Structure 1
C-alpha cells in the first residue's frame, strides 16, 4: 500500500486496540505503541465467540474461555463492553491512542487506512452487499464506539486496499463497460494478511521475496495473492469473497449458470442461494462432515459414502489450490517463492504436502520432515522454488497503520 507505516510515533507510552469483527465473534488485540519498533506480539489479546448464540464465551489468549452473559437485545454492544472492561484493566494509567478495525471492503474509493467519521461510516455501509459476512459487523462496532466515545480515533484498515496495485486488466470483469464504471470489478480480499506478508517475507527472505512470490492464505476463507516487488499483481478473490478457491463453507469460483439454474429451475430464492453459496458449500458441503480439512482427513479411509465424500472434498480443495497457483505462476512468468499462511496453511502439513507434490513441475522439492514440523522453510536446499510457512499477523499490521494515520494527522496539524 502507498501509505508507509512508520515506526516513529507521537504516541509514546500509549496503547492501540485492534478489533476484527465477524458475524458471531470479535477478535481483539492490544499493542504497546511505546516501544519502537512496534512489537509484533500484543500485550493482550483474545476473542469473544458465539455472539448472538445461546452460549457466548469470552477468552483471553492462554486462558480457558469462560461463559458470558450478553444482552440478548444488543449482543454486539454487550460483547464490546466486555472487551472494553479488559482494556481499561490493562491501561495502567496509559492512554488508548486509537482503535483499529479490520474492514473488509473499501469499495472503489477507500484504499488507504482512514480515520472514520460519520460521513465515512455512511459510505462504508454502502458496501455491505459486497461483503455481507463481515462488513456489517465491523461497522456496527465502529458505530457503537462513535456514539459512546466520539473523542477516540477509530481507524479503518481495508482488506481490499492491498490489491489496489493490481493492473486494470486483472480488475475488470467481462461485463458491459458501464459495469466497470459503476464499480463492478475484482477487488481482492485478505489484504491485511498479504500486507503483513509483504513485511515479514522481506525480513525472512530478503531480495528473494521481491521476486515472483505467491502467498496462499488458506483458512476458513481462502485466497492466493501473486506478488512482485512485494506488491499485489493478481489475486484469486474478485468482486466478492465468494470467488476463487474452494473454502470452508463457500464455493469459490462457480459457473454463474449454476446459480441461474438453482434460481430458475429449482426455484431457490435469492436468500436461499446466498445461504447455499456462503454457508452450505465448500469443504462442508462436499464432505458432509466438516469445514475443517484436519477433521475431514480422519474420514478418508471410511467405507461407503462417508469416505468417498471425504476424499472428494479434500481432492477438490487441493486441486483448486494447485490450479490457481499454476494460473498465477503463468501471470508472474514463473515462481521463486511460495508461502502458506492462515489456519489451514500454517497447521495442516498434509494439505501443504499434497499441494506441493502436484507442483513438482514448477521446481518445488518438499522437505517432508520440515513440512511435518511446520518449519519456516519446508523445501529442500536445492529446490528451484523456495517454499515457506509464515504465520500471519493481521492485527499487528492494522495497529501499525493506525499509528501511521495518527502521526500523519499530527504532522499536518503541526504545519
Structure 2
C-alpha cells in the first residue's frame, strides 16, 4: 500500500481535505470538502459540482472522523502524515514545522489575532491527534511567506515598547502566494524575476508585492482585518472609528469585533450578501456600490504595492473572486489603466499543493518534482 500525505484546511463550518501520493508530481488520490459543520453537513468530492447531504449532525471531530473513514474506504493508501493550514504563526514560526505540544501552546496564544480561523485550524489538529495519536502532523502558516520582509514593511508607527510585544504587520494568505510564486517560476520565469503584485481575492482578500518570488509588502497586518474590504471584514479602517464606536455609540469590545469581522465588507456595504455572485446578479444600487467600492479600494492598494516594488511588471489574480468574477477584474483593471503597461494573469489558487510541497520532502528525504501537468487543482 502506497504512502500518502493528507492536507486539511479547517474553517468555522467547513473542512477541505486532499490526499497526495508521495511520488514525483504529488498525484492527487482523493479529496473534497465537508460543509455545514454544526448545521446541515454535506460532502462535495473533488471534481463534482453537487453536494451529497450527510445524514448526521457533525462538529469538527465528527467531520475529521468522517473524512478519515471515507478516505480509508476509497483511497486505498496509507496516510503517513497530515499537513494543516494554520493562519497565524506569530513572529517565530517562519516555515512549515511538525506540531508538538509546545508549538500548539504558542499557536493557541495567537487565537485573538485570527479569531475567525485559528481556533478551527487547531480544532482539526486536536481531532486528528485524538483519533490517530501516532500520526505526524505539520503546521503550514499563512504568515510564513511574509516573514522576511524589511522592517519598513513590518513595523507600525507605534512606540518601541508596544512593537516589542509583537504588535507588527505579519501578512496572511501566504500559502496562496507561495503557490503563485512557484507557478510563475515554472510558467513565467521572466515575470517571476520581475515586479509582480498578486491579488488574492475571495471572501478573504489581500495583495502581495513580490520581487523574485519573495514577499516585499502586503496589505494585511497584525490581523486578517486590514487592507482590502472583504466578504464580511472591513479592511483598512481609521482606528479612531473603533474608539468612537465604543465611546460614543456604546458598542462593547465583543460588539466591535463581531461588527468588523462578520458584518462589514461587501455584506455591510450592500446590506445583501458577502457573495460577489449574488451582488453581480443584483440590480440594487447598494450591490453596485459595494462592488465599485471593492474595485476602487483594490486598485488603490495595487498602486500602493507598486510603489513598494518601484514599478509593476505583472498583476496576477487568484482566489474565488480573482479567478471567476470577470466583471470585478475588469473594474479593477479599468481603474489602473493610467499605469504603464503590465501583464495580467489569472492563476488558480492551490494552497493544498503548496502545503504538500513543503511537507513532502520532510517525509521522503528528498525534493519531489512538480510536474506542470500535475499542478492544477483537482
User: Which of 1, 6, 12 is the matching residue for 1:17?
Assistant: 6
Aligned runs of 1:202-217 on 2, under 5 Å? 202-217=185-200
> 1:189, 1:241 within 8 Å by CA — same for their partners in 2?
yes
* Residue 405 of structure 1, CA deviation: 2.6
Find the structure with the greater CA-based Rg: 1
Q: Select the residue among 41, 58, 62 that pairs with 1:56.
A: 41
Distance 1:69-1:270 versus aligned 2 partners, 3 A rule: farther
CA–CA distance in 1 between the matches of 2:204 and 2:269? Answer: 16
Alignment partner of 1:316 is 2:293: yes
Contact 2:233 2:262 (C-alpha < 8 Å) held by counterparts:
yes
Equivalent runs, 1:35-74 vs 2, <5 Å: 36-39=24-27, 42-53=28-39, 55-63=40-48, 64-71=50-57
**What CA deviation, in whole Å up to 9, does each residue of 1:95-147 have, x standing for no partner?**
21211100000001111100011121111111111101010111111112223
CA contact (8 A) 1:70 1:79 kept: no
How has the CA–CA distance of structure 1 residues 172 and 220 changed in structure 2, closer, same or farther, with 3 Å as cutoff? same
Q: Does 1:353 align with 2:339?
A: no
Q: Is the 8 A contact 2:61 2:128 kept in 1?
A: no
Q: Give the deviation of 1:298 after TM superposition.
A: 2.5
Candidates 305, 310, 313, aligned match of 1:336: 313
- The structure-2 alpha-carbon separation of the partners of 1:113 and 1:408, relative to structure 1 and needing over 3 Å to count, comes to farther
Shift of the alpha carbon at 1:71?
Answer: 4.8
Quick one: distance in 1 between partners of 2:57 and 2:325?
A: 37
Q: Quote the Cα distance in structure 2 between the aligned partners of 1:99 and 1:238.
A: 28
| Structure 1 stretches lacking a partner, 5+ long | 1-11, 364-383, 410-415
Alignment map for 1:265-344 (pairs within 5 Å): 265-299=248-282, 302=283, 306-307=284-285, 309-344=286-321
The yes-or-no answer on 1:86 pairing with 2:70 is yes
User: Is the contact between residue 30 and residue 75 of structure 2 (CA under 8 Å) also seen in structure 1?
Assistant: no
Deviation at 1:91, TM superposition (A): 4.1
Shift of 1:216: 0.2
Kindly indicate whether the alpha-carbon contact (under 8 Å) linking 2:41 and 2:57 is maintained by their aligned counterparts in 1: no
Helix, strand or coil: the match of 1:16?
strand
Partner of 2:355: 398
Instruction: State the SS of the aligned residue for 1:289.
Output: coil
TM-score, normalised via structure 2 length: 0.93
Distance 1:332 1:62 in 2: 38
Does the residue aligned with 1:249 lie in a helix, a strand or coil?
A: coil
| CA distance 1:62–1:407, change in 2 (3 Å) | closer
**CA RMSD, aligned part only?**
1.6
Confirm whether residue 186 of structure 1 aligns to residue 169 of structure 2.
Answer: yes
- The whole-number CA distance in structure 2 between the counterparts of 1:394 and 1:70 is 29
Are the counterparts in 2 of residues 103 and 157 from structure 1 also a CA contact under 8 Å?
yes
* 2:224 equivalent among 241, 246, 252: 241
Residue 407 of structure 1, CA deviation: 4.1
Choose from 342, 346, 353 the match for 1:389: 346
Shift of 1:14: 1.1
CA gap 1:297/1:65 in 2 versus in 1, 3 angstroms = closer
Which SS does the other structure have where 1:165 is aligned? coil
Q: Is the CA contact 2:29–2:75 (under 8 Å) kept in the aligned structure 1?
A: no
In 2, the alpha carbon distance for the partners of 1:188 and 1:69 equals 39
Which residue of 43, 67, 88 corresponds with 1:105? 88
- 1:29 corresponds to: 18
